[in-house]
Amino acid sequence: MKKTVDVSIPLGPMHPCWKEPVRLKCETAGERVLRAEVELGYMKKGIERIMRGRPWQEVMFLAERVCGICSVIHNMVFIETMETISDIAVPPRAAYLRVIANELDRVASHILANFSYCYTIEHETLAMYLLNTREIVLDNLERLTGSRINTAYMIPGGVRFDLLPEDATAMLADLAKVEAEMRRHTRIFETGPLIALRSKGVGVMSREEAIRAHTVGPTARASGVEDCDLRLRHPTYRELGFTQVTRTEGDNFARIMVRFQEIFQSIDLIRKCIDRLPDGPIRGGGLCKAGETSYAGEAPRGELTYSIKTDEYGRVLDIAIRTPSVMNIEACAHSMITDATSIADVTSTFISSDPCIACNER
C-alpha cells in the first residue's frame, strides 16, 4: 500500500489484548491514525488445500477446526451443504437439537467477544464476570454434545446424541442463571459512565461503508444494515419465529450491545426449542452423492459460506470457504480505524469487530 507519512506504529503479532496473532501497522500523524494496514499469515494453515480430495468423513472434522470459537456452526454449515447436495432429509427432532447446539455456541462466542472488549478497555471486573458466565454455557454444551470446544455433533441426516429429559431440565435451570447474570452484566455495561466514554462515538462505521465492504453479522447489524441475518431464511429458525436485532449508531458501543441483545434472543430460542422438541428419531439415513453447491449459514460473526463440489463416493473435489471475519476485519481496518482520533482506540475498535484470525486465514 502507498505510504503517506513515514511514522508507522506496529501492533502485534504478540499483543496483550489479542487472543490471536495479527499485525496492524498504523500510519499516524501525531495521535491521529491516518490509515492502517493488516499483515496476516500468522495463522495460514492452508486448510482448504488439505480438504481437497478427501472423503467427507474426514473433511467434517477438518471443517470444525477452521475455527475453534465457532466450531459448531462450521460443522453445521458443512453438513447442511452435504445434505443439500445429496437430498438428505433431517428428522425434526434432530433439526431442533442442532439449533440448541448452535445457539449455545453462539452465546459462548458472543460472551467471549464481549469479554475481550471489556478486557481491552481495561474493565477487568466485568470481563471476569463474563468469562465466568461463559463457563456455565460451555457446561451445557458439554452436557449436550460431550465436548467443550470441537464437538462434531452433527452428521448428515441427524445428530449424534439425544437430549435426555433430565438434561433438558438441568439446561433450563442453567439458562435461567445465565440470563439473570447477563441481565446484570448488560446493565453494568449499558450504564457505566467510563465505558460510555471509551465506547460511544468511537470507531464509527456508516451504513454505506458497511455495505461497500460487505460486512456481516453483529458488525453490520450495529451499523443499521437490515436483513443481513441468515437465520431469517433457515427453515427451523423460521418455525421458531426469529427476528433480527438492529442498531443504528455503528460505534463500538452499538457492536457490543448488539451481541448482548443477541445473547438474550439465543437463550429464548433455546427455551422455545426445548419446549417444542418433537419426539422421534435423531438420525435418519442417507448417502452422500455427487454434486456442486454453495450454501450459507449464520455464524456468531456473520454469514458463513461453503462452496463444495463432490464426486459420487462423497469425496470433496473442490471447496471454498468464505468466513465472516474476512469481511469484518477488512472493514474494521480500512474504515473504522482510518481517521481514529487516538492510537489508544485502535485496539478496542479492532477487538469490537470480533476478529477471528483463524477464520480469516484458514
Question: What residues line the site for another protein (CB under 8 A)?
Answer: 1-2, 10, 13-16, 18-21, 37-50, 52, 61-62, 64-69, 71, 112, 115, 128, 131-132, 134-135, 138, 148-150, 211-214, 307, 318-320, 322, 326-327, 329-330, 333-334, 356-358, 360-361
Closer CB to another protein, 98 or 362, in the complex? 362
Q: Cell numbers of 62, please?
A: 477438518
Q: How many CA atoms lie within 13 A of 242 on its CB side?
A: 25
Shortest Å, Cβ 332 to another protein: 9
Closer CB to another protein, 138 or 273, in the complex? 138
Q: Cell numbers of 334, please?
A: 480500512
Closer CB to another protein, 6 or 279, in the complex? 6
Shortest Å, Cβ 265 to another protein: 22
Provide CB contacts within 8 A for 44, sequence distance 6+: 361, 362
Shortest Å, Cβ 253 to another protein: 23
Shortest Å, Cβ 32 to another protein: 20
Closer CB to another protein, 139 or 268, in the complex? 139
CA distance 76 to 80: 6
Shortest Å, Cβ 260 to another protein: 19
Closer CB to another protein, 155 or 358, in the complex? 358
Q: Cell numbers of 212, please?
A: 461497500
Closer CB to another protein, 293 or 307, in the complex? 307
- Residue 334: DSSP 8-state: I
Question: What value does the CA radius of gyration of the chain take, rounded to a whole number of Å?
Answer: 20
CA distance 234 to 76: 12
Closer CB to another protein, 38 or 175, in the complex? 38
Q: Report the SS3 class of residue 116.
A: helix
Shortest Å, Cβ 149 to another protein: 4
Closer CB to another protein, 34 or 88, in the complex? 34
Sheet holding 8-11, edge to edge: 8-11, 23-29, 32-39
Shortest Å, Cβ 39 to another protein: 6
Closer CB to another protein, 225 or 240, in the complex? 225
Question: Across-strand partners of 298?
Answer: 303
Q: What is the DSSP string of 141-202?
A: HHHHHS-SS----EETTEESS---HHHHHHHHHHHHHHHHHHHHHHHHHHH-HHHHHHHTTS
E strands of the chain, at which residues? 8-11, 23-29, 32-39, 54-55, 154-155, 158-159, 291-299, 302-310, 315-322
Shortest Å, Cβ 338 to another protein: 12
Closer CB to another protein, 79 or 332, in the complex? 332
Q: What is the DSSP string of 280-322?
A: S-SB-------EEEEEEEEETTEEEEEEEEE-TTSEEEEEEEE
Shortest Å, Cβ 148 to another protein: 7
CB 70 within 8 A of CB 301: yes
Give residue 243's Cα distance to chain centre: 18
Shortest Å, Cβ 351 to another protein: 13
